[in-house]
Every structure is written in structure tokens, then in C-alpha cells.
Amino acid sequence: MLPLEHLQTTMARSVLAIEPMVSAKMLTAGKADPLARLRIYQNNTRSSLTAVLMAVFPITVRLVDERFFRHVASEFIRRHPPVESRLARYGAGFPRFLKTIDTLSDMPIVAETARLEWAIAEALDTASLPARSLAEYDNTDLGLSPDILLQPSLRLIVSHWSILSVWMAHQQETVDENVTWMRRPERVALWRSGNYVRLFLLDRASFAFWHSLKHGLGLEHATGRALALDPAFDLVSALVRLFRDRLVTDVRVAANSPSN
């Protein structure tokens, strides 16, 4: 008899595989057909995981048709089964997987929209921290280049395709037939706000500014990147916007600041 851990691993793989990886005698119990019993678990598992993917990628489903999505999802599940118990974390590799589907090679917007939808799912699964107000720092010496910490749910995506425009168009029950996807760069910022996600398009300078702050590069670096892309970049307005949108969770004196 197989050790318990080996048996459990083999059974889990068999449930997700097209062909069972265990022998019938390992599953025998009473008079029931052991492989038929295994197929029940296989069908239930794939159905549940497909439902998870459809819930995470609803606009992608609409772009490709539900029947085709189910077919692709089944293959993804077979090749990339869950690696952790939290189903909310399942699907991270699905956008990349869509890029490998030959029949979608002339529709890059599908994989790109899925990438946006996964970012939304990640944001919703991330806790929101208390936001700070600009007034809290009126009398605080933060040095020349303070670190501005942003909400951990903030996601920044740049795509060569009109992903947010397509996503917004499909928020209605009936999609305007005149709405088409096109090769047009879009820089999207999204973050959790309560039980919802806010999404905005950013220009190049603002995107670079937010991106630098998100990665802890400090205000001076972020401002420099933004000004290099747009000499007219307005730092004051950019900061006011971050506080107004409740994205700032803390402002700290940088480790290498002269004020330390």
C-alpha cells in the first residue's frame, strides 16, 4: 500500500488528469466501479475550477464566447492545477496561457483584457489600509525626498491595446456594437475602494510618477521620471490627487534624507 502522502498526491493528480494515474484496485470499495467514482470527482473538480475562472474573467468570457472559454479553461486546469487551497488565488497564469492559444493569435485584446481582470481580482483580495490626509503633514519636516507609501491594492498596468475601454464597454448588459478594440496604448491604475475597484487611465508622466512611488523609489525619483516625460508635470496637483483618492497610507522620511 502507498504511504498516505503519496496516495493523496497521486489521487489529486488523477482527479485533474484526463486519464487516471491510479490503478482501479487502489480505488475499489464495494461493488461500485472505481474509475466511474473517480470520474465523478474529476467532473466536479473541473466544473468548480471552471466556475472560478469564469467568475474572475467575466469580460474575457464575453469576448471569446462561453463555450470556447470553457474549452480553454479545461485545458488550463489540466496543465496548471491549483497549487494552494485558496481558490481566490487561482488563475494568475491564465492571461499568459491565453497568449499560447493559436486561435486567439489575431485577438491579442483577449489575453490583455484577462490581464486587467486578474489585476482587479488581486486588488479585491488585498486589504485596504487607513488613508492619510495631506493636512496631517502640514507641520512635519519630511526632508527633500520622503517615501510616500500607497495602498497595497494599487495595481498599474500598461498595455498596447485599449483594455480599459473594452472592459468599460462590457460593463453594460448590452454592448454597443460600434465599440471595437484597437491598438492604442492605455496605462491603467486600479485599486480597491471598499468592496469595489476604482479604475483610471493615466498619462505617461502620471503613470511613471505612481509607478516609482509604488516601488518605494521616493518622491524625488518619481518627480524626476515624470518631468522627463512631461516638463509640464504638476507635482502639487499629482500629490493632491493621491491624497484625494485615499491612496496614501503613510509618508516617511527617507532613510538617506539629510533631515535624519
Percent of the chain whose predicted confidence (pLDDT) is above 90: 61
pLDDT above 50 (res 190): yes
Give pairs for 85-91: CB < 8 Å, separation 24+: 87/48, 87/49, 87/52, 88/121, 88/125, 89/125, 90/49, 90/52, 90/53, 90/56, 91/52, 91/53, 91/56, 91/57, 91/118, 91/121
Query: In order of start, what are the domains of the chain with their CATH numbers?
Result: 1-125 (no CATH), 127-260 (3.90.930)
pLDDT above 60 (res 5): no
Structure confidence by residue, pLDDT tens digits, 7-33: 555 555 556 655 555 554 555 555 666
pLDDT above 90 (res 3): no
Structure confidence by residue, pLDDT tens digits, 102-161: 999 999 999 999 999 999 999 999 999 999 998 888 777 666 678 899 999 999 999 999
